């Protein structure tokens, strides 16, 4: 990379800094620009669409370079970080005027995907997680933090698959691993599309000791140490906003892997990838960024603790019952800014005057919020009020110190209120009196010289001056006026009197600006001492915000409070899919019951495609999730057990990264449920077995149902087009048939979207194809083939499932007596490879065999 000719001192300094950050773009400050050199310049110019130039253009090996203005650097840094790169910011650490030789420079921070603090306004309700992973004795330890809010959490996981799943659920942007982590693990993590950063273990940071103090597990402490050490070494700033690490166990929450969360569209639409059309989109009536983030955290980890669930339900009910108080509460919450991230910026030292005004405005709402909660007169809300820290002194401090409309910059003055500091008031008085004197001097000189358009001005380069147009130059006194600057149409002058006053005014301005900045830092440091209180207050307001949002949604869509039962039965009367109902409107939505008594384990669902089977099953899963986050649910009545896990097998997609086919993905997801489900789990299986040959699929589907019945007894909703499976309800007392009804009107298929007891009578496949717009000639041919097949085998529609029996060593005889003809047919059957035949060819072959048998008989 370096040029072969001798490097200049500046380039030597650049290369010395760059070698410590080989995996980052180095933004090297030179004057008003951040410059990039060598490979950084070539790649950066391409990504950021900058002009690529060269240093030492006339040398045999010029150095590629490009740059961005320092005042616009944030937008360029954001682009690089969003694309998954790191950016090291190298600043001038001394004024070039004071430098003796080469200006000192150093890295002030490293911006990475997991530590980026500059969230866009539309991402204020999104967490940005940095994670750390550590392997010890076949167990994995995972810690993560949102650096902007300071929360730190840690857990222990059984295998790498759980680690991958947790990282996907968190949507982590970057993962820190020990420097000696195996390449195999790193490769597996990189397959998730997450940046991997290596970190050496360090123990001597005060931040590490603070964050770890409540943890008991040694290995959990170690993974948190890797995480916090990475922050300390890359951010090079105060981390006083970091909170105590909280240990959590996955099995204490309703578990859903990444596939389940994706299939159920909790956060992202499968069709568009956007928030619209998701459960979050439906439930997010929060008024604060903090509440929006907490809602997503609740949806990621629904509760299994009945006591906490009932507390949330009780608060939602209180807010439902007190409409006017809830409306006032929403008004006040709307004025609460992001206290969590404001606390972070205060800790970092990056807060400005407008941020502090936002903090003051937020704190001003707290007394009003407390008064509303007290007015409702409920112990659970009174307890909430009692836990809110009193931050009134901070509100008062900011109100006295910071002007109501401060500038963005904190170093250029006009940010501190009059009356806050006596010395600052003296400086300001001197400046104001000086400016009044300037105005008097201007009037005096106009009168003495007779030049009516004479004016006194100021700029930062020349200071104060007297400006006279060229037309009036002849009237300028030569004994007092000294020429200072010549313009096209005027001359600028200075007088001894003006020069003396200028020095007094500028000295007051310079000292006042410096003093204002020092006063601002004092205010910031006083607030920093109360960060813990601000964080507690933020958490309480966020919780209140989510619960009032639940009340709004529950009232708007007429949801009911679910009842939790230990009897392992499900009773949902007139249940609805909450998102579909919001899109369609309540008047157009067909509600359906879902009923499974304690003895019913499998609800076998049949019906034509597009009739609503998948919606019916997703409705059940979303109802469970809403219930177990404390929200009311879309039904007239809901009685539910508390579930420990939701497993889904919905849709068809290849896993190209892992090299797995659609059917392999289907089987892997089914196996995950079969291996880990308990009798307290909910399983959603949508057309298991459709990814392979008909008989293979039917056999697997039946075997899965039998396995669920015998070994697990989880509540299972199983949709299928294999009508033969409906006969299982006659064999297994735990299986119950329901179907989604449809009818024909004038030859057209009409979906009724009503779930009724019993199996469907037919699949209506050709009718659905007609709705899809297939050519009429094709549909007519399909109908002719179907009629012919049904004519050849009148019993085709009533074939039963394979009789359930334990495996035996001896093969059962197909016939009591075997004729020569029958034996010939058996021999032919043994030689046929059904696996290589299409389903239609196999049916034709079987119909032909049956016809021959019927002819002989």
- Taking the C-alpha atoms of residue 734 and residue 730, their distance in angstroms, rounded to an integer, is 10
697 is in an annotated binding site: no
Contact 481, 466 (CB under 8 A): yes
- Taking the C-alpha atoms of residue 503 and residue 508, their distance in angstroms, rounded to an integer, is 9
Rounded (5°) CA angle 648-652-658: 90
CB atoms within 10 A of CB 264: 24
Structure tokens at 170: 């968190």
Residues 6 or more apart whose CB falls under 8 angstroms from that of 533 comprise 389, 390, 391
Q: How far apart are the first and last CA of the chain?
A: 88
Query: What Å distances lie between residue 475 and 440, 448, 468, CA to CA?
Result: 20, 10, 9
612 is in an annotated binding site: yes
Strands 602-606 and 63-69: unpaired
Structure tokens at 244: 């105590």
Contact 629, 297 (CB under 8 A): no
The residue written with tokens 């929360």 in the block is 151
Residues 6 or more apart whose CB falls under 8 angstroms from that of 440 comprise none
- Taking the C-alpha atoms of residue 613 and residue 605, their distance in angstroms, rounded to an integer, is 7
Contact 372, 325 (CB under 8 A): yes
CB atoms within 10 A of CB 596: 21
**Chain centroid to CA 463: how far?**
52
611 is in an annotated binding site: yes
- Taking the C-alpha atoms of residue 556 and residue 329, their distance in angstroms, rounded to an integer, is 17
In sequence order, the β-bridge partners of residue 687 are none
Q: HEC string of 393-420? A: HHHHHHHHHECCCCCCCCCCCCCECCCC
Contact 844, 837 (CB under 8 A): no
Contact 744, 768 (CB under 8 A): no
- Taking the C-alpha atoms of residue 560 and residue 723, their distance in angstroms, rounded to an integer, is 35
Q: What is the DSSP string of 613-647?
A: HHHHHHHHHHHHHHHTTT--BSSSEEEEPPPSEEE
- Taking the C-alpha atoms of residue 225 and residue 143, their distance in angstroms, rounded to an integer, is 9
- Taking the C-alpha atoms of residue 403 and residue 637, their distance in angstroms, rounded to an integer, is 55
69 is in an annotated binding site: no
Q: Is 110 helix (H, G, I), strand (E, B) or coil?
A: strand
489 is in an annotated binding site: no
The residue written with tokens 């509760």 in the block is 303
236: alpha, beta or left, given left = phi > 0 and alpha = psi -120 to 50? left
- Taking the C-alpha atoms of residue 570 and residue 592, their distance in angstroms, rounded to an integer, is 13
* H helix or E strand, kind and range, residue 747: none
Please report which residue ranges of 148-217 form alpha helices under DSSP H.
160-170, 183-190, 206-212
758: alpha, beta or left, given left = phi > 0 and alpha = psi -120 to 50? left
Question: Please, what's the largest Cα pairwise distance for the chain?
Answer: 140
Residue 30 phi, psi (nearest 5): -130, 105
- Taking the C-alpha atoms of residue 2 and residue 97, their distance in angstroms, rounded to an integer, is 29
Q: What is the DSSP string of 261-329?
A: HHHTTSSS-TTTSSSTTSHHHHH---SSHHHHHHHHHHHHS-B--HHHHHHHHHHHHHHHH-HHHHHHH
851 is in an annotated binding site: no
Annotated binding-site members for ATP: 607-614
Annotated binding-site members: 607-614
């Amino acid at each position: 990379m370096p040029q072969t000719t001798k490097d200049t001192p500046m380039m030597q300094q650049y290369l010395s800094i760059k070698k410590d950050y080989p995996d980052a773009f180095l933004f090297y400050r030179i004057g008003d620009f951040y410059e990039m050199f060598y490979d950084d310049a070539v790649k950066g110019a391409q990504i950021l669409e900058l002009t690529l130039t060269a240093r030492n253009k006339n040398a045999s090996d010029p150095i590629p370079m490009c740059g961005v203005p320092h005042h616009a650097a944030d937008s360029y840094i954001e682009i690089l970080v969003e694309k998954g790169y790191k950016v090291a910011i190298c600043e001038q650490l001394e004024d070039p005027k004071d430098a003796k030789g080469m200006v000192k420079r150093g890295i002030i921070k490293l911006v990475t995907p997991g530590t980026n603090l500059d969230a866009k306004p539309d991402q204020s309700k999104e967490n940005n997680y940095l994670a750390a992973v550590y392997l010890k004795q076949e167990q994995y330890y995972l810690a993560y933090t949102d650096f902007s809010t300071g929360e730190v959490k840690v857990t222990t996981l059984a295998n790498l698959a759980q680690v991958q799943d947790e990282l996907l659920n968190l949507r982590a942007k970057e993962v820190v691993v020990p420097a000696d982590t195996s390449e195999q693990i790193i490769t597996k993590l990189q397959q998730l599309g997450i940046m991997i950063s290596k970190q050496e273990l360090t123990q001597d940071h005060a931040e590490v000791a603070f964050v770890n103090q409540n943890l008991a597990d040694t290995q959990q402490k170690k993974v948190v140490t890797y995480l916090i050490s990475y922050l300390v070494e890359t951010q090079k700033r105060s981390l006083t906003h970091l909170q105590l690490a909280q240990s959590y166990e996955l099995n204490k929450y309703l578990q859903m892997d990444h596939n389940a969360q994706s299939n159920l569209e909790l956060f992202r639409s499968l069709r568009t990838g956007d928030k619209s059309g998701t459960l979050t989109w439906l439930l997010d009536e929060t008024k604060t960024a903090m509440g929006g983030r907490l809602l997503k955290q609740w949806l990621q980890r629904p509760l299994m603790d009945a006591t906490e669930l009932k507390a949330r339900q009780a608060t939602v009910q209180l807010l439902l019952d007190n409409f006017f108080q809830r409306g006032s509460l929403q008004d006040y919450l709307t004025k609460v800014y992001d206290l969590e991230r404001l606390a972070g910026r205060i800790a970092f030292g990056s807060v400005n005057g407008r941020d502090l005004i936002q903090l003051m405005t937020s704190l001003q709402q707290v007394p009003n919020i407390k008064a509303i909660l007290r007015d409702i007169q409920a112990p659970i809300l009174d307890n909430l009020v009692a836990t809110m820290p009193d931050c009134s002194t901070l509100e008062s401090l900011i109100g006295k110190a910071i002007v109501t409309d401060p500038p963005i910059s904190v170093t250029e003055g006009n940010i501190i209120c009059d009356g806050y500091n006596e010395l600052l008031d003296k400086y300001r008085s001197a400046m104001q009196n000086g400016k009044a004197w300037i105005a008097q001097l201007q009037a005096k000189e106009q009168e003495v010289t007779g030049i009516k358009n004479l004016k006194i001005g100021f700029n930062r380069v020349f200071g104060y001056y007297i400006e006279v147009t060229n037309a009036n130059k002849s009237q300028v006194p030569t004994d007092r006026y000294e020429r200072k600057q010549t313009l096209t149409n005027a001359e600028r002058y200075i007088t001894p009197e003006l020069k003396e006053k200028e020095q007094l005014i500028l000295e007051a301005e310079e000292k006042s600006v410096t003093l204002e900045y020092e006063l601002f830092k004092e205010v910031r440091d006083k607030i920093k001492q109360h960060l813990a209180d601000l964080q507690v207050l933020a958490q309480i307001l966020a919780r209140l915000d989510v619960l009032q949002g639940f009340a709004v949604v529950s009232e708007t869509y007429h949801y009911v409070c679910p009842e939790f039962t230990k009897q392992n039965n499900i009773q949902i009367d007139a249940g609805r899919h909450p998102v579909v109902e919001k899109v369609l409107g309540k008047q157009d939505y067909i509600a359906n019951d879902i009923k499974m008594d304690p003895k019913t384990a499998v609800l076998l669902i049949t019906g034509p495609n597009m009739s609503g089977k998948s919606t019916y099953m997703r409705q059940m899963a979303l109802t469970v999730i809403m219930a177990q986050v404390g929200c009311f649910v879309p039904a007239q009545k809901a009685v539910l057990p508390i579930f420990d896990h939701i497993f889904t097998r919905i849709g068809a997609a290849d896993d190209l990264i892992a090299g797995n086919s659609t059917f392999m993905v289907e089987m892997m997801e089914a196996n995950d449920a079969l291996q880990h489900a308990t009798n307290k789990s909910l399983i959603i299986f949508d057309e298991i077995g459709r990814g392979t040959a008909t008989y293979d699929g039917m056999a697997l589907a039946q075997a899965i149902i039998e396995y669920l019945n015998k070994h697990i007894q989880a509540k299972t909703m199983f949709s299928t087009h294999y009508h033969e499976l409906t006969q299982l309800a006659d064999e297994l007392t735990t299986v119950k048939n329901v179907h989604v009804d449809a009818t024909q009107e004038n030859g057209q298929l009409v979906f009724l979207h009503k779930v009724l007891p019993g199996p469907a009578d037919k699949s209506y496949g050709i009718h659905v194809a007609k709705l899809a717009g297939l050519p009429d000639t094709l549909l007519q041919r399909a109908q002719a083939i179907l009629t012919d097949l049904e004519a050849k085998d009148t019993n085709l529609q009533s074939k039963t499932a394979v009789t359930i029996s334990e495996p035996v060593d001896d093969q059962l005889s197909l016939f009591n007596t075997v004729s020569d003809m029958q034996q010939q047919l058996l021999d032919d059957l043994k030689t046929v490879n059904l696996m290589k035949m299409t389903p239609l060819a196999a049916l034709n072959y079987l119909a032909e065999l049956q016809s021959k048998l019927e002819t002989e008989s």
